[in-house]
A and B are shown apart, each in its own frame.
Chain A
Amino acid sequence: VTINWRGLLGLPILLAWLLAVASSFFGIGLPSAVWWVLVGWSAISALYFTLSRGVLSFVLKRSVEALITIWIIATATFFLLKILPGGPFDSEKALLPEIKAAIEHKYKLDAPLWQQYVSYIGGLAKGDLGQSYKYLDRGISEIIAESLPTSVQLGAFALLLSYLIGIPVGVLAARHHNRWLDSALMIGAISGVSLPSFLIAPILILWFCFSLNWFEPALWQGPEFYILPTVVLGTRAAAVIARLVRASVLEVIRADYIRTARAKGVSERVLLFKHVLKNSLIPVLTFSGPLIAGLITGSFVVEQIFAIPGIGKHMVLSVSNRDYPLIMGTTLVFSALLVLCNLLVDLLYAYVDPRIKLS
């Protein structure tokens, strides 16, 4: 029996990730080793792909660019924070000057700005994100490590849901172009984009938790807790995807090669799934980079409404607390994820569409 090693690097990874996310949804706790295997497996395929397609120089170039981007973001954020009025230890009860001085000395806030900057960037280079000013005695890496996984989990569920709903709805709408089903679906999609989550969430909670008594109104402890936040967070993304897919399918369906295929007698179903859909998903891929980064770094509103212990809260509250190290930490995590997702999307482009040249 010959194993097709190359075959293991493409679609199966996607399926494995889907399975893993689904099992996490159903409260089946996979050992962390499984997750590391998945990550490793994905990394190996990315590497294999990079080498086999000869895009190594592209990836290296982009990685260097990514580092520079992150450094620029870190620098800009650092100085912007210092311009922002108000400090981390200001409160309703004003501090005595000597106490304020002791605190500022302890956190080295009394050092010249350039020294603070150099010491922060120096720490960053060593992977040290510093200590929180608000959560005394807790490191920023620790806070992120504790809150990010929950946000990633919620984001992954929402992402999956948005694909599961968005893609079929988009295809269906395109197939029934300019008929009532199309209009109905698109009205639904526009509502999905425009309705804010702080409106949808309470309505769903009222209905599903208190009238129907199906789900839990808040917290993050199992499937009955996951469903509503996932729906609320996923709806908007699903709506955007549906509109993208619809537009894209309509464009592809008019392409010459589809007409040719149809003329050659290819059945409508094969035509749709094999030729149209595959080619229509490229815009979705483009959109997925920022979407993934946005979904997994947490939604403040959804996490707030459902009391989910994710990182979204820290992103917002760290600013109102002027917890400089935590603001820097969350900003950098978000930027790093965004840069990484965009790089992956670029690689995926080349993978799904050989016409796209990476350079």
Chain B
Amino acid sequence: MGRLLTAALVGILSSVIAIGCTKKGGKLDYGLNPSETLRINIQQEPPSLDWSKSVDTTSSLVESNIMNGLVEFNLSDPELSLDPALATSWSSTRDAKTWTFNLRQDVKWTDGVAFTGQHVIDGWERLLNPSTASQYAYFLFGVKNAQKYSQGKIKDFNEVGVRLDGEGRLIVELEQGKSYFPYLLDHHSTFPIRKDVIEKHGDRWTDPANIVTLGAYKLKIWEHDKALVMERNDQYYGSKAKIPYIYAYMINEMSTAINLFDAGKLDLQYELPSREIRNLRTRTEYRQKGNLGLYYYGFNIKKPPFDNLKVRKAFVKAIDRKQITDMLAGGYTPLSGWIPSGMFGYEPERGIQFDLEGARKLLDEAGFKDRSKFPRVKLAFNTLEDHQRIAENVQAQLKKNLGVTVEVVNEEWKVYLAHLHSDAPSMYRMGWIADYPDPDNFINLMASYSENNHTGWKSAAYDDLIAKGVSETNKEKRRAIYSEAQRLLTEVDVPVLPIYSYVTQALVHPRVKSFELNALKKYVFRGVELQ
């Protein structure tokens, strides 16, 4: 008996080892062939593929491959111009208040139904309907009566400024002129929907068996928390996708994903651990590209000592932003103005630059010649390693350059957000990533009425400039307006300390061709090839 047991144990152990050693390299789930599958990592389970409701970048990545809007950004154009998509052309009245979109007639949804303008109207109705409770409803608040419909003050959607004319063209009427209005239409929240499909399947309409789309790819498999597969849509109206399948892992841990990349099981990893950037950037697979995002500190100007303009200016002058971007080493661009690099309106020289003597002088003038009298202020950020590194760097610079001590405090993300809204700390960290590539999206953040402005700063002149910038159609005049707004914000009243504009970093396998990172951090795989 004892021998039998031993033999059995040895047998089991050796088979374990034998199986362990026969590693089946390269095999992919669902019978997919790696040679015709682009393997990407979308970091997490997409919270929702319902494009009227989803709010995160993971869902948006999938949606922008399986769907299309009326227009589409030309991602290889540094100016991010618009290309036709479901609309073949568009035009506006001189005041940019009424827009006309000519729609394509040859588009079919994946179930064979022809696309019409009504699908766009249905999508907008659903986005704005309060019962949908979409976080992106504000995207269309520029449309006449849209906000009122969303607030429930208007019940009849016919009163909202969107309709089809006799020739099937989409006519949009805005509350006021908005020169960048078409830019909003490559956003998933404004995509057309199939009301009949949603009504038929309810909450389950985004399951692969039910979902109906019209993009270059279609949703084939969605195994929650594990993987998602997109398949080429052969009925696509535009140039067909080159790669038959996209397999998306949902791996949250970046080092795990890099292990898979190194093991040859992943072709594209587009989030990299910042602590390893110094090593990763020396690799041939490494890519980086500036994107439209902003990292900044805000001052609560209601709280002393930051109610004193000279103190705010002294703090901004005392910070050498390049020290921070050098420490991060990920190719970030120091930013002293408010509009990030790569966007219309960006001015490298705008804002207050590093000036040691000037900083010390200003702080003296502010009444803090004796630095020991300077109150202990808090520099707050949400708990994350990079934020900690940056805060500590700023803390050290302020100590060294101004001789003042700030206390760095971190809080868990949601606790931090709650504090920002109720009682913003003296100095706080925040960031912004473009919803649409227009300076208005950034300048708007610090409007007196903005929910994102936690500084307590309110400027009527600044609000006026925002309103002017939105309706101005002349590009050069707009540039001047945003230049003035940035001057007010970052040179005159200084409620903020901009630090750098964001960068996307990625590892791309050499077999992946015609793939470029872009300023909008959009991943559209239609044109990508595999070698």
Which A residues form the contact surface with B (CB < 8 A)? 22, 26, 84-87, 89-99, 102-103, 105-107, 134-138, 143, 146-147, 202, 205, 209-210, 213-219, 221-224, 227, 269, 304-307, 309, 313, 320, 322
**A307:B255 contact, CB within 8 angstroms:** no
**A218:B421 contact, CB within 8 angstroms:** no
B253 at interface, CB cutoff 8 A: yes
Most buried by B among A86, A106, A138, A221: A86
Expressed in whole angstroms, the Cα–Cα distance for A93 and B57 within the complex equals: 13
Instruction: Contacts A99-B138, A223-B16 given; indicate if A90 touches B54 (C-beta within 8 A).
Output: no
Identify the 3 closest CB pairs spanning chains A and B, nearest first.
Answer: A86-B414, A94-B451, A136-B48
B256 at interface, CB cutoff 8 A: yes
| B412: A residues at CB distance < 8 A | 86, 320
Expressed in whole angstroms, the Cα–Cα distance for A262 and B460 within the complex equals: 96
Q: Which of B210-264 contact A (CB under 8 A)?
A: 224-226, 249-253, 255-257, 259-260, 262-263
Instruction: Contacts A146-B224, A147-B225 given; indicate if A26 touches B19 (C-beta within 8 A).
Output: yes
**B20:A22 contact, CB within 8 angstroms:** no
Expressed in whole angstroms, the Cα–Cα distance for A99 and B451 within the complex equals: 12
Instruction: Contacts A218-B251, A305-B256 given; indicate if A92 touches B23 (C-beta within 8 A).
Output: no
**B150:A99 contact, CB within 8 angstroms:** yes
CB-defined A-B contacts under 8 Å, sample of 27 = A84-B415, A85-B414, A85-B415, A87-B418, A90-B414, A90-B421, A91-B55, A92-B417, A92-B430, A93-B135, A94-B451, A94-B452, A98-B150, A99-B138, A103-B133, A135-B47, A136-B47, A137-B50, A137-B203, A138-B224, A143-B224, A216-B263, A217-B263, A227-B16, A269-B2, A320-B414, A322-B414
Q: How far is the CB of B14 from chain A (nearest CB, A)?
A: 13
**B253:A307 contact, CB within 8 angstroms:** yes
Expressed in whole angstroms, the Cα–Cα distance for A91 and B414 within the complex equals: 8
Instruction: Contacts A92-B431, A93-B452 given; indicate if A320 touches B203 (C-beta within 8 A).
Output: no
Among residues of A, the one whose C-beta sits closest to the C-beta of B55 is A91
Among residues of B, the one whose C-beta sits closest to the C-beta of A94 is B451
**B20:A227 contact, CB within 8 angstroms:** yes
**B451:A90 contact, CB within 8 angstroms:** no
Q: How far is the CB of B482 from chain A (nearest CB, A)?
A: 20
**B23:A216 contact, CB within 8 angstroms:** yes
| A89: B residues at CB distance < 8 A | 135
Q: How far is the CB of B295 from chain A (nearest CB, A)?
A: 11
**B12:A134 contact, CB within 8 angstroms:** no
Q: Which of B336-392 contact A (CB under 8 A)?
A: none
Among residues of B, the one whose C-beta sits closest to the C-beta of A220 is B226
- Return the CB mask of B433-457 against A: 1 if under 8 Å, else 0: 1010000000000000011100000
| B417: A residues at CB distance < 8 A | 86, 90-92
Which residue of the partner chain, among A84, A96, A134, A269, contacts B138 with CB atoms under 8 Å? Answer: A96
| B20: A residues at CB distance < 8 A | 214-215, 223-224, 227
Q: How far is the CB of B34 from chain A (nearest CB, A)?
A: 14
**A137:B48 contact, CB within 8 angstroms:** yes
Q: How far is the CB of A85 from chain B (nearest CB, A)?
A: 4
Most buried by B among A22, A26, A217: A217
B195 at interface, CB cutoff 8 A: no
**B135:A99 contact, CB within 8 angstroms:** yes
**A224:B135 contact, CB within 8 angstroms:** no
Among residues of A, the one whose C-beta sits closest to the C-beta of B224 is A146
B131 at interface, CB cutoff 8 A: yes
Which residue of the partner chain, among B137, B259, B421, contacts A217 with CB atoms under 8 Å? Answer: B259
B275 at interface, CB cutoff 8 A: no
Expressed in whole angstroms, the Cα–Cα distance for A213 and B23 within the complex equals: 8
B4 at interface, CB cutoff 8 A: no
**B451:A95 contact, CB within 8 angstroms:** yes
Instruction: Contacts A138-B224, A215-B20 given; indicate if A94 touches B253 (C-beta within 8 A).
Output: no
Expressed in whole angstroms, the Cα–Cα distance for A99 and B22 within the complex equals: 55
Which residue of the partner chain, among B19, B50, B206, contacts A224 with CB atoms under 8 Å? Answer: B19
**A85:B419 contact, CB within 8 angstroms:** yes
| A85: B residues at CB distance < 8 A | 414-415, 418-419
| B259: A residues at CB distance < 8 A | 205, 209-210, 217-218
**B55:A210 contact, CB within 8 angstroms:** no
Among residues of B, the one whose C-beta sits closest to the C-beta of A222 is B24
| B29: A residues at CB distance < 8 A | 221
Q: Which of B135-165 contact A (CB under 8 A)?
A: 135, 137-138, 147, 150-151
**A87:B19 contact, CB within 8 angstroms:** no
Expressed in whole angstroms, the Cα–Cα distance for A105 and B131 within the complex equals: 9
Q: Which of B3-58 contact A (CB under 8 A)?
A: 12, 15-16, 19-24, 29, 45, 47-48, 50, 53-55
Among residues of A, the one whose C-beta sits closest to the C-beta of B46 is A135
16 A-B pairs besides A86-B414, A137-B50, A202-B255 with CB distance below 8 A are: A90-B417, A91-B55, A94-B450, A98-B150, A99-B134, A99-B135, A103-B133, A134-B47, A136-B53, A210-B262, A217-B256, A221-B29, A307-B251, A307-B253, A307-B256, A313-B252
| A137: B residues at CB distance < 8 A | 48, 50, 203-204, 206
Instruction: Contacts A135-B45, A136-B48 given; indicate if A86 touches B204 (C-beta within 8 A).
Output: no
B180 at interface, CB cutoff 8 A: no
**A224:B22 contact, CB within 8 angstroms:** yes
B183 at interface, CB cutoff 8 A: no
| B418: A residues at CB distance < 8 A | 85-87, 90
| A222: B residues at CB distance < 8 A | 24
Q: How far is the CB of A102 from chain B (nearest CB, A)?
A: 4
Expressed in whole angstroms, the Cα–Cα distance for A138 and B46 within the complex equals: 11
- Return the CB mask of B177-205 against A: 1 if under 8 Å, else 0: 00000000000000000000000000110
Expressed in whole angstroms, the Cα–Cα distance for A304 and B451 within the complex equals: 35
Expressed in whole angstroms, the Cα–Cα distance for A309 and B206 within the complex equals: 21
**B252:A309 contact, CB within 8 angstroms:** no
**B263:A87 contact, CB within 8 angstroms:** no
Among residues of A, the one whose C-beta sits closest to the C-beta of B205 is A137
Instruction: Contacts A147-B225, A307-B249 given; indicate if A86 touches B413 (C-beta within 8 A).
Output: yes
Which residue of the partner chain, among B19, B138, B413, B415, contacts A223 with CB atoms under 8 Å? Answer: B19
B109 at interface, CB cutoff 8 A: no
| B249: A residues at CB distance < 8 A | 219, 307
B130 at interface, CB cutoff 8 A: yes
Instruction: Contacts A134-B47, A146-B225 given; indicate if A218 touches B260 (C-beta within 8 A).
Output: yes
Expressed in whole angstroms, the Cα–Cα distance for A102 and B53 within the complex equals: 13
Expressed in whole angstroms, the Cα–Cα distance for A314 and B418 within the complex equals: 22
| A106: B residues at CB distance < 8 A | 131, 133
B432 at interface, CB cutoff 8 A: yes
- Return the CB mask of B399-431 against A: 1 if under 8 Å, else 0: 000000000000011111111010000000011
**B12:A22 contact, CB within 8 angstroms:** yes
Q: How far is the CB of A45 from chain B (nearest CB, A)?
A: 24
Q: How far is the CB of B19 from chain A (nearest CB, A)?
A: 5
| B256: A residues at CB distance < 8 A | 217-218, 304-307
Q: How far is the CB of B2 from chain A (nearest CB, A)?
A: 8
**A102:B432 contact, CB within 8 angstroms:** no
| A103: B residues at CB distance < 8 A | 133, 135
**A217:B260 contact, CB within 8 angstroms:** yes
**B151:A98 contact, CB within 8 angstroms:** yes
**A304:B421 contact, CB within 8 angstroms:** no
| B53: A residues at CB distance < 8 A | 136
| B421: A residues at CB distance < 8 A | 90, 94
Most buried by B among A102, A143, A215: A102
